Structure 1
Amino acid sequence: MCAASVLVVDDSVTMRALIKHALSRDPDIVVVGEAANPYEARDKMKQLDPDVVTLDVEMPNMNGIEFLEKIMTLRPTPVIMVSNLTAPGAAATLAALEIGAFDCIAKPSARESMFSELPGLIKEAAKAKSGMAKRRKGSVTPHHSGSDPARDRRVQLPHLVAIGSSTGGVEALMQVLSEFPADCPPTVIVQHLPAAFTGSFAARLDRVSRARVSEAKGGEPLLPGHVYLAPGGMRHMIVKQGARATVALVESDTVSGHRPSVDVLFASIAKNFSGPTCGVILTGMGRDGAQGLLQMRKSGAQTFGQDEESSLVYGMPRVAHEIGAVERQLPLGRIARQIFNGG
């Protein structure tokens, strides 16, 4: 396998050196160039055609968010944002994920000498490059039919919808929820994000969806027309069924490497929810959600997975498909319509 080629873009000489040092220890990665600003980066991208770009948010002349938009429009390439996860930075980083950044990591503090997670992200991002241009041309613009999909129902609606996603999921969820009707079944979502992001991401989803989207607090009744996003951090989100179904946040160890975990959410629905349900697994690295989705399918739920062509990272959907958890694979632009009217 050829080494993944990387272009490092940051206005700080020190930060570029730190990133290069972190990547130099991995024989499967080669830093082919560096740039101090987006204009220099643009020329280097044309010259070097890197597999992956690391990109700072705050830079002179043109910030990283503006440059990312240009990359995704003119030369789709996996981009890993490297920024500080402060409150203002969280909003900028979330915007980058929405535009289509592969992932975001925090810059190290003065006490840290390297980015331990960056090499693995680089190699996963490099795998995604081949399909990005085709995916960008065909599947990221939300489909709006001009009518509420709930008004053309040809199938019985589920009483509960559950969605899990990770890398690439910010963009994917923006598209899927933009097609949700105002009277959608109660919907629960786990998207792998740091705690600093989930509140602002829920607000973004709320602006694009006719349904009411909010970050789950725990204890909420599951109501039609409402979408509950699991908060990032130290707790899993589950569904509990008593006199009425509610959302609960529980403290527990990580599952499938994550907290909150898609597996935990899906498994709780298979165990606790008595009505018809629908489980959806979207783009993401790893295997979180596959076993839980299989439990949902065995309990009688409809289960859908995002297809390889429209996934930024065909990891979680691939594993779910391979173990028989996915009833049907679909391109991103068809998932909402499949849930609400069968196609």
Structure 2
Amino acid sequence: MMSGKVRVLIVDDSALVRQLLSKGLGSDAGIEVVATAGDPYAARDHIARLRPDVMTLDVEMPRMDGVEFLRRLMPQYPIPVVMVSSLTQRGKQITIDSLNAGAVDFVAKPTTDVARGLKAMILELCAKVKLAATVDVSHWKNRRKELPKLLKASGGALAESTDKVIVIGASTGGTEATRRIITRLPAGFPGIVITQHMPPGFTQMYAESLNRESAMQVREAKTGDRVAPGLVLLAPGGKQMRVIRSGGRYEVICEAGPKVSGHCPSVDVLMESAARSVGGNAIGVMLTGMGSDGARGMLAMARAGARNIAQDEASCVVFGMPKVAFEMGGAKRLVPLDDIPPLLVGMLTERAA
């Protein structure tokens, strides 16, 4: 745990935005803005000289966008980064790619009611900057190549597991964690449903990003979509996703509703529906995230016969949701992130045997 103030570098091509962010972050007693930069080239000099604890980074910049900067920076100077994202289509895509390139989290710039929206954004940014300061990003140093997909591990047994449903919940750090799982699974893997805490607009971009890298098909879910082998359904931002049984198959319902456990979409909503509709045919996976969303739902899944696991502390960005799920008894095992894909294959082939 850090002591003293979190030292922050602000990177944005707009002098006005740099001023607003500097004033906003500086108003927090736990944060010190050590420098600002108008482009990634000046930012790199500040990082090498000042060694800030956290960097806030504008998504869209004229000389080099955020994701390209991160791809060059993180293998040499790993630093926790919080993206400051626009809500344009390009801005959303760069944000998702930046999370895959090493950013810890992001905040969205306000587009309506700017005065009130700016105040809310600053509060969110302060909280995420302080959280980012606790994250160990050293694994990005000289990052090794991704592990291969488990195409040979599935054998023929997965064909007999088509009635199984994998239910995944994630929050802070979850975009990278989920990617490292989904991109290693074979095309015929049983259907997967995911709730990742993310606002409207970003979930579609994230699903498209995963789809480009995965053997399985990945898409943002819509009501009536079937949970089927080879398909990953991601809960849309701003809607609650539930699994239901329709005749002999599983489907999802996605509809607007209030926040549950502080979130929409909520992991609790998804997992409680899986407990009711899927029961012992489900496997639950709780990934990195702040808070306790999903712990109650995962416990319901366990009581309905599901076998559940959670990401271990060492590989989590934030050991919040997995910790509570494990302590409540919903998750029976804590597992390193890179061990989760082969473990899922093993759990399915055991049941199919």
Q: TM-score, length-normalised on structure 1?
A: 0.91
How far is 1:275 from its partner? Answer: 4.2
In structure 2, the residue matched to 1:250 is 255
Report the Cα distance in structure 1 between the residues aligned to 2:279 and 2:246, rounded to whole angstroms: 10
How far is 1:141 from its partner? Answer: 4.7
- The answer to whether the Cα contact below 8 Å between 1:149 and 1:180 also exists between their aligned partners in 2 is no
Report the Cα distance in structure 1 between the residues aligned to 2:184 and 2:194, rounded to whole angstroms: 15
**1:238 lines up with 2:236 in the alignment:** no
**1:223 lines up with 2:216 in the alignment:** no
How far is 1:25 from its partner? Answer: 2.0
In structure 2, the residue matched to 1:5 is 7
Q: Name which of 119, 122, 144 aligns with 2:126.
A: 119
Q: Give the paired residue count.
A: 338
Report the Cα distance in structure 2 between the residues aligned to 1:138 and 1:238, rounded to whole angstroms: 40
**1:198 lines up with 2:200 in the alignment:** no
Aligned residues with identical type, % of pairs: 42
Q: Which one-letter code corresponds to 1:31 in the other structure?
A: V
- The answer to whether the Cα contact below 8 Å between 1:9 and 1:35 also exists between their aligned partners in 2 is yes
In structure 1, the residue matched to 2:179 is 174
Output one character per residue of 1:120-162: Cα deviation in whole Å (capped at 9) or x when no partner.
Answer: 111111111xx220x33699853216733311769x9571100
Report the Cα distance in structure 1 between the residues aligned to 2:155 and 2:79, rounded to whole angstroms: 38
How far is 1:250 from its partner? Answer: 3.1
How far is 1:193 from its partner? Answer: 1.5
Which segment is superposed worse, 79-88 or 52-61?
Answer: 52-61
150 and 215 in structure 1: CA distance in 2 versus 1, 3 angstrom threshold: same
Structure 2 residue runs of 5 or longer lacking an equivalent are 349-353
How far is 1:68 from its partner? Answer: 1.3
Structure 1 residue runs of 5 or longer lacking an equivalent are none
Report the Cα distance in structure 1 between the residues aligned to 2:24 and 2:229, rounded to whole angstroms: 48
Report the Cα distance in structure 2 between the residues aligned to 1:313 and 1:206, rounded to whole angstroms: 25
Output one character per residue of 1:205-237: Cα deviation in whole Å (capped at 9) or x when no partner.
Answer: 22222222221111122222211111112x200
Report the Cα distance in structure 2 between the residues aligned to 1:34 and 1:257, rounded to whole angstroms: 33
In structure 2, the residue matched to 1:148 is 152
Q: Name which of 317, 336, 339 aligns with 1:334.
A: 339
Output one character per residue of 1:231-278: Cα deviation in whole Å (capped at 9) or x when no partner.
Answer: 112x20001123132111133210111111011100111122244210
- RMSD over aligned CA atoms reads 2.2
71 and 152 in structure 1: CA distance in 2 versus 1, 3 angstrom threshold: farther
Q: Which one-letter code corresponds to 1:272 in the other structure?
A: S
Q: TM-score, length-normalised on structure 2?
A: 0.89
Q: Name which of 48, 71, 74 aligns with 2:73.
A: 71
